[in-house]
Amino acid sequence: AVLRNASSELFRARGVFLAEVTVVIPRSWSSKSAWARQPLPRVEAPSWQQWGRADILIERGEDSVFGENPFAVQYAGCGVQGRHLVIPETFLSGYAATSEYSPNRFDKYGKPRHVFLREWAAYRYGVFKEHGFPRDPVYPLYLVRPGSQDPSDVKLNICADRPLRPQFRFVEIGMA
């Protein structure tokens, strides 16, 4: 359902859709009826060549670098297709357990189809994220003006369609 919904959204937005996608699933997913919807997709045992050219790899959630979030393995430049897209099985199982329109544990990242499309854009088209990440030294969520003594003198590292007016809250952290 995630791929189908994402493809529909992509078609509405840009007039293109996901025509054919190769997905490599974990070996532990043996029974198609346990994870696939009707009609059942064509499934083949992956060869080493398929691993190398797969668009999407499903990995065990506890092994995922970014927890339950999908991520693109993309270390080329802007506009260049990446290696593949990794989707933790916890992302898919969490999605299957909830409705696309009901609140769920993915609310902080957006609807699953949008999360998928952001990462698909990074993988397929070399479009990178428009925001930073909390406590990330390379891609920070905000930048502090060098030399400023005002702790609220920051610039958010994010793209938005209107000016943002952040409100700051100071929290004292006690020394133990």
Any domain includes 131: no
Any domain includes 132: no
Q: How many domains does the chain have?
A: 1
Top mean-pLDDT range of 46-50, 91-95, 155-159 = 155-159
* HSE-up (13 A, CA, CB side) for residue 37: 6
| Confidence (pTM) | 0.62
Any domain includes 140: no
Taking the CB of residue 162, how many other CB atoms lie within 10 A of it? Answer: 5
Any domain includes 133: no
Any domain includes 145: no
Look at phi and psi of residue 147 and say left if phi exceeds 0, alpha if psi is from -120 to 50, else beta. left
What is the distance between the alpha carbons of residues 124 and 130, in angstroms, rounded to a whole number? 16
Q: Is the pLDDT of residue 15 over 80?
A: yes
pLDDT of residue 129: 72
Any domain includes 96: yes
Mean residue pLDDT across the chain = 74
Q: Is the pLDDT of residue 41 over 60?
A: no
CA-based torsion, 76, 79, 80, 84: positive or negative: positive
- For 102-149, the pLDDT digits (tens) are 455 556 667 888 888 888 888 988 887 777 777 777 777 777 778 888
Full domain range(s) for residue 6? 2-125
Any domain includes 130: no
Say if residue 19 is exposed, middle or buried (CB neighbours under 10 Å; 0-12, 13-18, 19+): exposed
Any domain includes 55: yes
pLDDT of residue 8: 92
